[in-house]
Structure 1
Amino acid sequence: MTPTLLELLRRVDTPTVCNAIEVAQGKRGFDRFTRGTMLCSDPDGGAMVGYASTAKIAAVAPPTEPAEVIKARRMAYYKHMSEGPRPAITVVEDLDFPDCIGAFWGEINTTVHKGLGTSGALTNGVMRDLGDLPDAFPVVAGSVGPSHGFVHVREIGTEVEIFGLRIRDGDLVHADRHGALVIPTEVIDQLENAIRKLLETEQLILEPAKQDGFDFEAFEQAWAAFEAART
């Protein structure tokens, strides 16, 4: 991923990237995206882009393993989050889903993760402390709640599932208030051109539609130009 592509991905929303992947693939049917409505801690803060650092947690019931095992795994978790390719996104599956109660993502944990160099968090679980989370560290979560429950780390670096989207450690993820997707490795070299082509093509419809006097005849002409540009 080049610096130019990274900057562009941060400026566009996840639906745009979803469409651009199909442009790069030359067909419809891309399906590596989340299903259902997710919540964003900073809806106007733009997208987060990065390589996934994955883990699994649980919080409804207390851990049954010895305290020293839980502590060692917790430290291993933070070490994992501090390493790996950058930019990085922390992707955490709450195993209690859909009955999640433990807010792993509050003021302290988001600040720690930002300090360790991750660019945001994606989870099917709970976030809290809205209004006190650090700037430029968005959280896209399944719900909002007040408690941390018995939250503890179960797995580190394994494949996770977030709202129907399976994500492996190291996958390139794009996420915002619309949800998240995994960018296929094979389209990365074509993605910058695909995004720019998509944005230019959309203007063939958007610009005429915003003009005074726009009518069905004008729409027909604009749509014909739009269709021609997409083929």
Structure 2
Amino acid sequence: MTPELFKLLTSVDTPTVCNAIEVAQGQRGFSDFTRGTMLCSNVNTSAIVGYARTAQIAATEPSKEPKDVIRARRMAYYKHMSTVTEGLVEVPSIAVIEDMDYPHAIGAYWGEVNTNIHKAFGMSGALTNGVMRDLGDMAENFTVIAGSIGPSHGFVHVKTVGEPVEIFGMRVRDNDLIHADRHGAIVIPRSVIGGLEAAINKLLRTEKIVLEPTYGKRITFEEFEHIWASFEAART
């Protein structure tokens, strides 16, 4: 990861990065992405990019653990969220929170209070299969990508901190590099990071071969055949 790559990643959408990973890998079949439709707290913001800070929560039933245990884990959670990834370039973290009540999640963990707390820790956003609320009152420039919207926090409490989680079919480990926007999220493999900037730029260049002569224009099939042949040749 370099500052230049980080800037580039925040300027393109998640489908572009998903395709670019396959360019970097030299084949189709990349599968570390979310399945299904997710909701974005602000569709007009750029993608969130950062290293995962994972945790699991639940909310449909109150915790049966002692109050001091619940509080200690909550404080351990916030300490974990505030910690910068050691040994890695200055890239923000993303809270990646699995709601263990999914697909029947009811507790909105993400709202005005938690978005402001996590933003104050320097995090760029949150990814969850759970619930968000307080739309319009969330921290500015802190994007939440969630499974649903609801009014209540239920009995929300932290269950685990730093353990592997699953969000809409995508497995995430602590410190995984995440790219997410209104389309969903992906885990960027560490193995492609060195070639990802070149792969994104190649993808954008080759797409222009099709987009520039077709965008807002009328073409014949014969013209399309020529365009597509040039496009295929550039992709190989």
Instruction: Name the TM tier (shorter chain).
Output: over 0.9
Matched, 1:76 2:76: yes
Matched, 1:92 2:92: no
Name structure 1 gaps, 5 residues minimum: none
Worse-superposed segment, 197-206 or 78-87: 78-87
Partners of 1:121 and 1:212 lie apart in 2 by 39
Partners of 2:215 and 2:122 lie apart in 1 by 42
Partners of 2:196 and 2:141 lie apart in 1 by 24
**What's the secondary structure of 1:118's corresponding residue?**
coil
Letter of the 1:38 counterpart? M
Shift of 1:102: 0.2
- Report the counterpart of residue 65 of structure 2 in structure 1: 65
- Report the counterpart of residue 4 of structure 2 in structure 1: 4
TM-score (norm 1): 0.99
Q: Equivalent residues in 2 for 1:216-231 (5 A)?
A: 216-231=221-236
Letter of the 1:114 counterpart? K
Partners of 1:102 and 1:52 lie apart in 2 by 21
Matched, 1:108 2:123: no
TM-aligned CA distance change 1:75 to 1:199, over 3 Å: same
**What's the secondary structure of 2:28's corresponding residue?**
coil
- Report the counterpart of residue 146 of structure 1 in structure 2: 151
Instruction: Please list the CA deviations of residues 50-82 of structure 1 after superposition, one character each: whole Å capped at 9, or x if unmatched.
Output: 000000000000000000000010001000000
Partners of 2:167 and 2:192 lie apart in 1 by 22
Shift of 1:211: 5.9
Residue 187 of structure 1 is aligned with which of 181, 185, 192?
A: 192
- Report the counterpart of residue 24 of structure 1 in structure 2: 24
- Alignment: residue pair count: 231
**What's the secondary structure of 1:208's corresponding residue?**
helix
Shift of 1:134: 1.4
Shift of 1:135: 1.5
Partners of 1:24 and 1:133 lie apart in 2 by 36
- Percent identity reads 66
Root-mean-square deviation over aligned CA pairs? 0.8
**What's the secondary structure of 1:182's corresponding residue?**
strand
Shift of 1:212: 3.9
Partners of 1:139 and 1:7 lie apart in 2 by 20
